[in-house]
Amino acid sequence: MSIYVILKLLGSLALLMYGMKVMSEGLQKMAGPQLRHVLGAMTTNRVTGLLTGAFVTAAVQSSTATTVMTVSFVNARLLSLGQAISVIMGANIGTTLTAWIMSAGFNFNMGDVVFPCFILGILLIYAKSSTKKSGGEFIFGLCFLFLGLATLRQNAADMDLGHNQAVLDFFEKTGGWGFGSTLLFLLLGGVLTMCVQSSAAVMAITMILCSSGALPIYQGIALVMGENIGTTVTSNIAALTGNKQARCAALAHLVFNVFGVLWILCIFNFFVDLVCDFAGYDAARAAADAVYAQENAAKLNFVLPAFHTAFNVCNVLILIWFIKPIERLVTRLIPQKEEEIEDDFRLRFISGGILSTAELSILEARKELNLFAERTGKMFKLVKDLSRTTDEKDFNKLYTRIEKYEGISDNMEVEIANYLNNVSDGRLSSETKIKIRAMLREVTEIESIGDSCYNLARSLKHKYTGKEEFTEQQADHINQMFKLTTESVNQMIKVLQSGRWADAMASYNIENEINNYRNQLKHQNILDISNGNYSYQLGIYYMDLINECEKLGDYVVNVVEARTDTKEKKQ
C-alpha cells in the first residue's frame, strides 16, 4: 500500500468531515434562532423533550451541536437538568439520520450528481438573502459530504482491503479473542471518535472496512458502539467551564451512552444477529463462508445504520422512564463548588407555572422578588470585597463572579416580569392589578441595582488596570459610602419583607445621608485636585464610585416607594 493511496484516503476523509461541518453550519444559520427557541420552549415533559432533541439534531445534522446547545441552556438556567436529559436522549435518536445519509452515499454513485449541485450552491451563496446564502452553504456541505464518500469508496476499492493480507490477518487474529475482541474495537471506536471529534468520520471508516469485506460485522458494530461513547467528549469539554447543572447534563449524556453499551454487551451476539436478519444478512454464515461474506458485503452499509438506530431507540425506550434516577446519580457524582452554592441564582417559587388563583400566584411572585433583592445584596457585598482585593488572581475571579451575577440578574428580571404579565392576563380585581404594576416596577428597579453593582465593579477594574491607588482619605470616604449603601440595601430588603411605613421612612433617611455625603465629597474632590493632592484621573475613578453609590441609593428608594405605595402596606 503506497503512501499516496493512504494520503488520498485521509484527504477523502477530511473532505467528508469538512462537508459535514459546512452542511451543519449552513442548517444552523438557516434555522438556528428558531431551533434554539424550540429547544427552550418545547421541553415541558420527557416526551416533548425527547421529540425536540431528535427534531433539532436531525435538522442541524449534529448531535454535538444539540448537546452543546443544551448544556449552554442548562448553564443559563433556561432548561432544568431533567429537561436537558430528555433532549439529549432525543439527540441520540436524531443523530442516526447521519448514518443513513452516508449509507445512501455508499450505495449510490453520488459523484456524478454533486457537480451540477455545486453550481446551484454557488448561485445561492452569492444571493443577497442571508437565508439563501445559508442554503447555498448547506448544499455545498452536502455535495462535499457525498464527494468525500464517493472518493472514500473509490480509494477503498483501489486499496483492495478485502484482499489485503496484512489487514485480513490483523482482523482475523483479533477476531479470535472472543469477547476481548469486542472490547478492543469498542475502545478503538471511542478513542478514534475522541481524536477526530466526529462520529460521522468513524462511521464512514467502519462502513468502508465492512463493505470491503475486510472487517467482520461484529467488530464493525463494536466500533459503532465505541463512537457513541466517544461523541460525548465534546459536550463534557464544553461543560467544564459551566456550573454544576451544566456539568451534570454533560455527564448524563455519557451515563446514558455507557449504560446502553453495557446492556448491549450482555446480549451482543443476539442483538447483532437480530439486526442482521432484519437487513437480510446472515452474520453467522458470513463468519464461516468467506465467499458469502464478499458477495453480501454491500448489505453491511445498511446493517450498520440499522444497528445504530435500533441501539439508540431501544436505549431511549429503556431509560426514558428513569430520568429522575439519572438526574440524582449525576448530581451526586459531581460536587458543587463553594462559589456555585453562593451564586445559585434560581427561580425557586414561580418555576412551577401559574397557580390556580391570582392571589396565590402573586404571593409566590412576592417571595421571588424578596429573594431577588437578597441576592442583589450579596452582589453588592462582592463589590465591597473587590474594592479591598489587591491580588490579581483573586481580583479577576471576583470580577468574573460579579459579571455572572449581572447576567443572571437580567434573566431573573425577565422571568419574573413575564410571570407577572401572564398572571395579569387573567380576570383580576383593580386592587390586584395595582399590586402587579407595583411589583413590575420593583423588579425593574432591583435589576437596576444589579446594574449599578456591575458599574461599580467596572470602575474598580479600570482603576486596577490603570495601576492607580486611592489615597488613605479617599479609601476612608469610599468605605463610608459603601457602609451607607449597605445599610440602604439591607433596609430595602427589610421593607420588602414587612411593607411597614416605619421601615420605609428609615430608607428615606439613609438616602438623604447618601445624597448629602455625595455632595460633600464632590465639593471636596474639586478642592483636592486643585491642590494637587492626587491626579485628575484618580479623582474621576473616585467620583465614579461615589456617584454610582448615590444612583444605587436612588434605585433602592424607588423599590421602597413601589412597595409601600400599594395597599399591601401594613400599619
DSSP string covering 228-266, please?
HHHTTHHHHHHHTTS-HHHHHHHHHHHHHHHHHHHHHHH
d(CA 272, CA 278): 10
pLDDT band at 558 (very low <50, low <70, confident <90, very high): very high
Task: Please count the structural domains in the chain.
Answer: 2
Paired residues of 570 in beta bridges: 500
d(CA 495, CA 34): 42
pLDDT for position 441:
92
pLDDT for position 16:
74
510 pLDDT above the threshold of 60? yes
Whether 222 and 347 share a structural domain:
no
168 pLDDT above the threshold of 70? no
Domain boundary among 300, 333, 366: 333
**Which residue from 213, 203, 217, 205 is spatially nearest to 282, judged by alpha carbons?**
217
Domain boundary among 312, 333, 354: 333
pLDDT for position 571:
38
Q: Tell how far CA 102 is from the center of its chain.
A: 28
Whether 312 and 357 share a structural domain:
no
pLDDT for position 446:
93
Interval 272-295: pLDDT, tens: 888 888 878 877 777 667 677 666
pLDDT for position 287:
66
Interval 63-107: pLDDT, tens: 666 776 677 667 656 677 888 888 888 888 888 887 787 777 666
Whether 320 and 465 share a structural domain:
no
With b meaning 16 or more CB within 10 Å and e meaning fewer, what string describes 330-365? bbeebeeeeeeeebebebebbeeebeeebeebbebb
Interval 377-402: pLDDT, tens: 999 999 999 998 888 889 999 998 89
What is the arithmetic mean of pLDDT over 528-549?
92
pLDDT for position 46:
74
d(CA 502, CA 507): 9
Domain boundary among 292, 314, 333: 333
Give all strands (DSSP E) within 356-480, no chain letters.
none
Parent domain of 535: 342-564
Is residue 144 within 8 Å of residue 173, measured between CB atoms?
A: no
Whether 289 and 231 share a structural domain:
yes
Whether 48 and 141 share a structural domain:
yes
What is the arithmetic mean of pLDDT over 225-229?
85
pLDDT band at 567 (very low <50, low <70, confident <90, very high): very low
Whether 282 and 372 share a structural domain:
no
Whether 348 and 270 share a structural domain:
no
d(CA 347, CA 414): 11
pTM for the structure as a whole: 0.56
Is 571 among the domain residues?
no
Is 208 among the domain residues?
yes
Whether 176 and 45 share a structural domain:
yes
Grid cell digits, residue 69: 446547545
Q: What share of the chain is helix, strand, coil (3-state, %, to 5)?
A: 85, 0, 15
Q: What are phi and psi of 41, to 5 degrees?
A: -100, -35
